[in-house]
Amino acid sequence: MASRKKCLVLGFFAFLWAELGIKGKEETEEQTCRLLGKFDLNGYVDAKNHSLVIGGLFDIHSRTIPANESVLEPVSAKCEGFNFRGFRWMKTMIHTIKEINERKDILPNITLGYQIFDTCFTISKSVEAALVLLTGQEENKPNFRNGTGAFLAGVVGAGGSSLSIAASRILGLYYLPQVGYASTCSVLSDKYQFPSYLRTVASDKVQSEAMVRLIQHFGWVWIGTIAADDDYGKYGVKIFKEKIESVNLCIAFSEIIPKVYSYEKMQRAIDAVKNSTARVVVLYASDIDLSPFVLEIVFHNITDRTWIASEAWITSALIAKPEYFPYFGGSIGFAIPRADIPGLKEFLYDVHPSKDPNDVLTIEFWQTAFNCTWPNSSVPYHVDHRVNMTGKDDRLHAMSDKFCTGEEKLEDLKNTYLDVSQLRITNNVKQAVYFMAYALDHLSRCEEGRGPYVFGNTCAYIPDFEPWQLMYYLKNIKFTTHNGMTIETDENGDVSRGYYDILNWQLDDNGEVAFVKIGEYTFTDSKFELVMRKNATIFWNTESSELPYSVCADVCRPGTRKGIRQGEPTCCFYCIPCADGHVSREPGQRECEQCGEDYWSNAQKNKCVLKEVEFLAYDEALGFTLVLLSIFGALVVLAVTVVYVLYRHTPLVNANDQELSFLIQVSLVITLLSSVLFIGKPYDWSCRARQVTLAMGFSLCLSCILGKTISLFLAYRISRSKTRLISIRPLYQKIIVLISVLVEIGICTAYLVLEPPSAFKNMESQNIKIILECTEGSIEFLCSMFGIDIFLASLCFLTTFVARQLPDNYYEGKCITFGMLVFFIIWISFVPAYLSTKGKFKVAVEIFAILASSYGLLGCIFAPKCFIILLRPERNTHELVGGRVLTIDKSIQPTSASVSSELDNTMASTVEDD
């Protein structure tokens, strides 16, 4: 801030040095300053016989003639390009002051004069006018009096923001009140830089907010900006960018319209508009600055764009021409509220060059309006020193061959000066003058002792008051205008409430551009509201005549998310499909949402659906087949049992320990039916029952087989020895079975009590499925439980493998050996198959192993016997099976069946050596 102030001060004094020609001359006695020349200013003065004077700054011309570079001495520039709109604003100020002087309720016994200067829409002229208002052209120090001696109360103006800023930097040094009517630049709200500036128009902060709301309303996200190369354009776009980025919208490009025509700079702006994918462009510029840009747009035939207009040009007749409509038709912008001003139209028509031969502005107005030259006038006609679009110097110094007669009729004119249908900034001029008048009125009505100033509540008096004393009333004033609006400013000198009209450019029946109101934007200290008119017809200047689509990238459809493009704005993105298990339900989501643990994304990734719950069910083909195999196996075992019961008195059944055989059959039924517990939806009880039932079934089966294999082992030992049979009871076989089963029961009980298995939702094996399975609980207990079965199976295999060489018509030892071999092969191959599968097939593998091992034992142990019993009964005899043997002759080899029968039915004698 300090460096900025330093630059401003240095710039101000440099300007004074160049424009005023102030030159320091060091002399021996004293230092003095003197004016080297006068400013070339045009305007209107009416200060005689008036108590106070109000200054006015208006853009009656649009530019200055470039200075002659060969002249070294600073010269006040001349102006060109007559501005009908600015001339109307100036006339409105004069009309308003006359109206106030005629009223008896405001400033009684006090009349207001005016001194109005043309700023020529140029900063240098605005500063010149401000200096003259302070000093006059005859003195070199501020005296707050004009050339007639009337006291200067304040200044109304200037038009453009840059002009008001330049003038306010000078007027603010003396705290001289300045009321703006069209300058919306937000920097003017800074009371540290511009302490005496107030205005009757809203700040660009409000307008930028309104633009953002409008853009959001129509769903545009990719916006271009074009701004004039001045404070109005730069600050306006700066605030607009801040607000647009705060709502996550993006700027496609931001270019500048040069104040002094530059082909390179202008071409850069045109190329940005032409090449960008943005179809909506915000234009922050005055109509005068915008004119060259409009011509370039027409020249390059750029259409299919929607322009968002600031209040400075949305209703400008300079731009709103039918020939520009193909390029700028459909523009939407914010306009200051319009109003009707009684008596203004008649006052505007009351103008004629013959009334004052020295009124050069009126003469120039007449010449420009009627395309003629006023007789005996030195005012040039149609002087244009601009450089055209080709970059070539195209200066015109032309005088019209047609002379003005004075009989021309203003009624025949169709220009901005006489158009009172869109009095918007014109009405602000009237309000600014009234703003000053009401403050002076309140100051004049002060009662001594009740004044607002400290040190005795003193008052100020007209005309002898200080500028800061009037500023007190200006800051606290509130009044109602002729059309019912309330004017009130906040602490920054900005209007605190009001509204904008939202206008759309359309063609009327006569082919003229019409400003159609399609909505309003109202604002107060704490509330902003955009209201679009219902059923309002909006003209869109697009190929389809529909709402333009302005995006950098199409909105990502549901099921995708936005992916960042490095180095590009956030509105430019890739659409990346959501990952599995994630969804985006709404278009344009930045992130995909993760589905809940029981849900998964559908194929389109736009909805979370319940995961498929997988388990081996009864009603599916695999489960149903396994149930049938299980039941069929159990029925086969029951059939074997029936055979054994029916033929229980035959030698073959008696020779193989009926009790153990029946227990084996019971255990096989248990193991076969236990597989049914593995099918269906897992529950805690089924998870606990399936493993325990399986382990108990195999434990009973294998312990019974072990009892048989021990008998065969002893028979084999007897057959190979020269000893007598040892006395052995069948009870020992039952004890082996009992001990084995009791140990298994103990382990199973501890397993169920301490760390039992339970039902579990497995969500890690497959993302799209919930696999219902059983947790193993304690792996140690589970291994111990099935470890007993493995131990029993190993003993069975070893004992029968040793006894497999017994000669017999029925080789039970070989059958059990083969059955154990099948048992081991099945369960050894089960382990890798079980570990390599998932879901319901994992359970199916285990069931296959259970059924296969059960069918293997059933087939190897009982199928041969049933075959002989049922199909070869002639072999089921004592002679072939073998009978009871009390003593063993070493010359006779006992059969396994006979030995088994002997061991089952009587005590065996010890075989002694001969």
Give the model confidence (pLDDT) of 836-873 as tens digits.
777 778 888 888 888 888 888 888 888 888 888 888 88
User: Distance between alpha carbon 280 and the CA centroid of its chain, in Å?
Assistant: 20
Can you give the pLDDT at residue 725?
Answer: 42
Helix and strand counts by DSSP (H, E) for the chain: 25, 29
User: Distance between alpha carbon 796 and the CA centroid of its chain, in Å?
Assistant: 73
CA 58/CA 116 separation, integer angstroms? 7
In a 13 Å sphere around the CA of 450, the CA atoms on its Cβ side amount to: 6
Per-residue model confidence as pLDDT tens digits over 445-481: 888 888 888 777 888 888 888 899 999 999 988 888 8
Per-residue model confidence as pLDDT tens digits over 552-572: 888 889 999 988 888 888 888
CB neighbour list of residue 88: distance below 8 Å, 6 or more residues apart: 348, 416, 417, 418, 426
* Cα torsion 143, 149, 154, 159: sign: negative
- The CA-CA-CA angle for residues 150, 151, 155, to 5°, reads 115
Q: Decide if pLDDT at 522 tops 70.
A: yes
Mean pLDDT of 654-677: 82
Residue 887 confidence class, pLDDT cut points 50, 70, 90: very low
User: Distance between alpha carbon 495 and the CA centroid of its chain, in Å?
Assistant: 34
Q: Decide if pLDDT at 511 tops 80.
A: yes
Q: Report the percentage of the chain scoring pLDDT > 70.
A: 83
Q: Decide if pLDDT at 809 tops 70.
A: no
Across 164-178, 269-283, 508-522, 667-681, least confident range: 667-681
Q: Which residue has the tokens 């298994």?
A: 744
Picking from 689, 595, 696, 639, the residue whose alpha carbon sits closest to that of residue 866 is 639
CA 785/CA 696 separation, integer angstroms? 9
Mean pLDDT of 222-251: 92
Across 277-286, 397-406, 574-583, 681-690, least confident range: 397-406
Can you give the pLDDT at residue 819?
Answer: 80
Single-letter code of the amino acid located at 496: S
Contact 580, 594 (CB under 8 A): no
Contact 330, 505 (CB under 8 A): yes
pTM: 0.68
Per-residue model confidence as pLDDT tens digits over 136-170: 766 566 666 665 677 899 999 888 899 999 999 99
Per-residue model confidence as pLDDT tens digits over 191-220: 999 999 999 999 999 999 999 999 999 999
Picking from 585, 752, 745, 628, the residue whose alpha carbon sits closest to that of residue 685 is 752
* Strand 573-577, strand 151-156: pairing: unpaired
Q: Decide if pLDDT at 828 tops 70.
A: yes
Q: Which residue has the tokens 């004039």?
A: 228
- Cα separations in angstroms, 231 against 99, 123, 362: 34, 11, 31
Can you give the pLDDT at residue 906?
Answer: 36
CA 699/CA 190 separation, integer angstroms? 95
Between residues 859 and 185, the one the model is more confident about: 185
Domain limits of the chain? Answer: 43-67+74-200+342-352+406-486, 204-335+497-532, 560-610, 621-808
Per-residue model confidence as pLDDT tens digits over 403-415: 888 889 998 888 8
Neighbours of 475 (CB within 10 A): 16
Residue 382 confidence class, pLDDT cut points 50, 70, 90: low
Between residues 447 and 74, the one the model is more confident about: 447
Q: Decide if pLDDT at 711 tops 80.
A: no
Per-residue model confidence as pLDDT tens digits over 577-625: 999 889 999 888 888 999 888 888 888 899 998 888 888 888 888 888 8
Can you give the pLDDT at residue 832?
Answer: 81
CA 126/CA 86 separation, integer angstroms? 14
Question: How many residues does this entry show for the chain?
Answer: 914
Residue 385 confidence class, pLDDT cut points 50, 70, 90: low
Can you give the pLDDT at residue 103?
Answer: 92
* Strand 560-564, strand 222-228: pairing: unpaired
Mean pLDDT of 75-79: 85
Between residues 113 and 659, the one the model is more confident about: 113
Can you give the pLDDT at residue 374?
Answer: 87
CA 774/CA 873 separation, integer angstroms? 49
In a 13 Å sphere around the CA of 905, the CA atoms on its Cβ side amount to: 16
What does 722-758 look like in DSSP terms, one character per residue? SSBPPP--THHHHHHHHHHHHHHHHHHHHHHHHS---
Could you please state the CATH topology (level 3) that the domain comprising 204-335+497-532 is classified under: Rossmann fold (3.40.50)
Q: Report the percentage of the chain scoring pLDDT > 90.
A: 34
CA 433/CA 89 separation, integer angstroms? 12
Computed over every residue of the chain, the mean pLDDT equals 82
Looking at domain 43-67+74-200+342-352+406-486, its CATH superfamily turns out to be Response regulator (3.40.50.2300)
Q: Which residue has the tokens 């059955």?
A: 819
Q: Is 391 helix (H, G, I), strand (E, B) or coil?
A: coil
* Strand 573-577, strand 582-583: pairing: unpaired
Single-letter code of the amino acid located at 620: E
Can you give the pLDDT at residue 771?
Answer: 81
Can you give the pLDDT at residue 342?
Answer: 93
Can you give the pLDDT at residue 318?
Answer: 87
CA 550/CA 219 separation, integer angstroms? 8
Per-residue model confidence as pLDDT tens digits over 25-35: 343 344 556 66
Tell me whether the CATH fold assigned to 43-67+74-200+342-352+406-486 matches the one assigned to 204-335+497-532: yes
**What phi and psi values does residue 826 have, to the nearest 5 degrees?**
-60, -50
Residue 399 confidence class, pLDDT cut points 50, 70, 90: low
Can you give the pLDDT at residue 641?
Answer: 87
Can you give the pLDDT at residue 907?
Answer: 34
In a 13 Å sphere around the CA of 840, the CA atoms on its Cβ side amount to: 18
Picking from 203, 205, 114, 112, the residue whose alpha carbon sits closest to that of residue 164 is 203
